[in-house]
Structure formats: C-alpha cells, structure tokens
Amino acid sequence: MGVSAKTLVEKTNYLDKDILYLRNILITEYDIKSAGFTTIKVKKLLPEDVISDLEKLSKDQRSIYIGKQILKHPKIGEELINTLIDVRKDFVVLNDINEEDVLSIKRDALFIIKKVPNHFKVGEFEFRPKGSYSSYCYLNGKEFYYSSKLDLLDIKGLSEDVREKQKDYLLKDIRKIIGMGEKLSSDQMFLFLKQYRSKYLNGKLDKETYRDLETGMYSVNGYQMIDISEDMIKDVDISQNYINYLVPLFKLLV
C-alpha cells in the first residue's frame, strides 16, 4: 500500500481521465451506507434527541434534513468531508488498494478496478458493493459503465431528463455497441460500426435518436426544439452526438 493511494482518496471527486476504455474487466462501485447520517452520529454533530428522530425517518427524508442542516451550519459539511476522507483512507489501507486500482471517487463512493476488497467495515462506517460493471468508456466528459450481466448502462454526467428521453434510442444503441465490444473481434466490430454509421448519418434511425445528448432537444437551423415531425429529420443537426460520442466510441472499439 503506497502513500499515493492515500493521497488520492483525499479528493472528494476524482476520475482517472487517462483511462478511456476498459472491457471484460471487473469494475465495482463501493459506497458508504448512510454516510452523512453515520458521520452525524459518530461525531455527535446534532443533539441526541434530533439524531434519534432522524433514525425514524426514511432515507430520503433524512437526506433532505441533513442537507438543510449543512446549509445552516457549514461546519457540519466540513466535518462530513473530512470524516469521509479519513474513512476512504482507512478503506484503501485495509484492502491494500493502490492508486491504479481506483477509477473514480464520488464523495462517499469508490469505483475499483479488478481488486476485490475483504474488509468492508471502517469503525461505524460500512462500505457495500452498489454496482458491478464489465466495461467502461469515457466519452465527451461523461462516464459510461456497462454491465454485461444485466445488459445495463449507467452514465455519470448526463441529466436524468436526457437519460430518460434517450434510454430507448441513442443510449440503447451505445449500450448495445459497448456490449458487442466485449464479444466481437476488431474486424467484426468494424463491419457492424460501418453499417450503424451509415444508418445514423443518413437519418435512417428513429428520430428520437437524434436528440442532442447535452440538451435533450433537437437542433434545427440553429433553434432548439422539443419535438419534430419525421420529415424534419433532414434538417436536424446530427453532428454533435456524432462528433462528441459516436466517433470517439468507434475509435475506442476498433
């Protein structure tokens, strides 16, 4: 266990941007169960009667209350950040996790490559595996995590609204392409992507596929539109998704 990993997990948010593509490999997200509430209990940041009342609330209700307290009392937020740094440090030390094993840090979660921890308890804090993935792509500042077991694509960096609008269209296509990347040879992948590229550029896919992944809107002659008719496909600017997501994805896979 080197000092570098302990230094790395001092960051509240981190992503190894040198890693653009991983496939057929174990990537697991480990998050801290009830991190904010556990910190408040352990550090006694609120009166005991308030903590007792919080235990009776649902997770969402508790999170809302704690969020409001952090806004009122910034020191609670500072204590939370510092405590989670210490907890992350202890976790990587206990499990001999090195810098190269850490793909990403998201406040109370760590995305670990290949290595499987044996120790999940750090004092009163408990790490738990939240998601397991077999491939990863970094495209246009967004993180795409794919699970072959569940045929599932999790994305960090896209709004929930855009993900919902595109889940059965472009994001479904990206999910399929990443999944095929785990199984096909480079030559087979090249042929498939060539056919898909032709369909995309010639407007042969469902019109929903052409919504901009950044805005969830259609870009038509410089205007952002919520919806369009089928015959307007020819006027939609389809270059942003193509340049920012599809071309980089194609390059990674072949």
Read off the pLDDT of residues 115-170 as tens digits, 9 standing for 90 and up.
Answer: 999 999 999 999 999 999 999 999 999 999 999 999 999 999 998 888 888 999 99
How many other β-carbons are positioned within 10 Å of the β-carbon of residue 228? 17
| Domains in the chain with CATH codes | 1-157 (3.90.1600), 159-254 (no CATH)
Per-residue pLDDT, 1: 43
Spatial separation of the C-alpha atoms in residues 40 and 35, rounded to whole Å? 9
Spatial separation of the C-alpha atoms in residues 70 and 32, rounded to whole Å? 19
Per-residue pLDDT, 2: 43
Nearest to 8 by CA among 137, 16, 121: 16
| Phi, psi (rounded to 5 degrees) for 205 | -95, 165
- Average pLDDT over the chain, rounded to an integer: 93
Q: Grade residue 186 by pLDDT with cuts at 50, 70 and 90.
A: very high
Whether the Cβ atoms of residue 99 and residue 2 lie closer than 8 Å to each other: yes
Q: What percentage of the chain reaches a pLDDT higher than 90?
A: 85
User: Which whole number is the average pLDDT over 3-20?
Assistant: 89
Per-residue pLDDT, 231: 85
Q: Which helix (H) or strand (E) holds 214?
A: none
Lowest-pLDDT range, 2-16, 49-63, 230-244? 2-16
Collapsed DSSP state (helix, strand, coil) of residue 181:
helix
Amino acid of residue 43 = K
Read off the pLDDT of residues 58-112 as tens digits, 9 standing for 90 and up.
Answer: 989 999 999 999 999 899 999 999 999 999 999 999 999 999 999 999 999 999 9
Whether pTM > 0.95 for this model: the answer is no
109-113 and 121-122 as β-strands: parallel, antiparallel, unpaired? unpaired
Residue 3 reports pLDDT greater than 60: no
Nearest to 159 by CA among 213, 106, 105: 213
The two most distant CA atoms of the chain are separated, in Å, by 65
| Close Cβ partners of 138 (under 8 Å, ≥ 6 residues apart) | 15, 17, 19, 20, 21, 144
For residue 7, what are its two tokens? 């230094």
